[in-house]
Amino acid sequence: MAEFVSVNCMGYAVEMAFEFGFIRIKNGYNLKWLLNRNPTNALEIARIAKAQYRSRLGYSFLVSDLSLAIEIVGHVVPGEVADVALDYESVLPDGIVEACRSISSRTSVIDSGQSTATDSNRWIWDALAATVGSIVLSLVTVPKP
């Protein structure tokens, strides 16, 4: 797996890794901060990630900007909900705690593959982008990190 590097996204360092067919983005403080300021920043982050992919690997990343942006937000929001819930794990049933831990773990890195052969969820993000993607980005609220 490729090593994560800091990529300048609108003045903030966002950790990303690039390997053929994949862009990985750490769901960290700066990413959450940018999305909290404006969820449509996910589009610019997607464009920057794709430009870095092309620069580093010499190939275009074959996912639309909007699909990648929806995937970014689609990981950050549930991950944040799970992390907040885990702050209260002492009062939650064990099953809920385990589910939140699983969500938190699975959303800690946005693992974007450019085909359904390498990313089993690609079709979901592509379908959302093709139908309601712009609406989702304009209406979603990303909690403060």
Collect the ranges in the chain with pLDDT lower than 50: none
Residue range(s) defining the domain that contains residue 70 = 5-134
- Residue 83, pLDDT score: 86
The pTM assigned to this predicted structure is 0.89
Q: Within a domain: residue 144?
A: no
- Residue 91, pLDDT score: 93
Q: Within a domain: residue 127?
A: yes
Domain count of the fold of the chain = 1
Distance CA 116, CA 88 (A): 36
Q: Within a domain: residue 145?
A: no
- Residue 81, pLDDT score: 86
- Residue 142, pLDDT score: 77
Contacts of 7 (CB under 8 A, 6+ apart): 13, 14, 15, 16, 48, 49, 52
Q: Within a domain: residue 38?
A: yes
Q: Within a domain: residue 58?
A: yes
- Residue 136, pLDDT score: 80
- Residue 52, pLDDT score: 98
With tokens 């979901």, the residue in question is: 124
Alpha-carbon 73 to chain mean position: 5
- Residue 109, pLDDT score: 95
Taking the CA atoms of 134, 45, 26 and 121 in sequence, report the sign of the dihedral they define.
positive
- Residue 20, pLDDT score: 95
Q: Within a domain: residue 140?
A: no
Q: Within a domain: residue 13?
A: yes
Between β-strands 5-9 and 12-19, what pairing exists: parallel, antiparallel or unpaired?
A: antiparallel
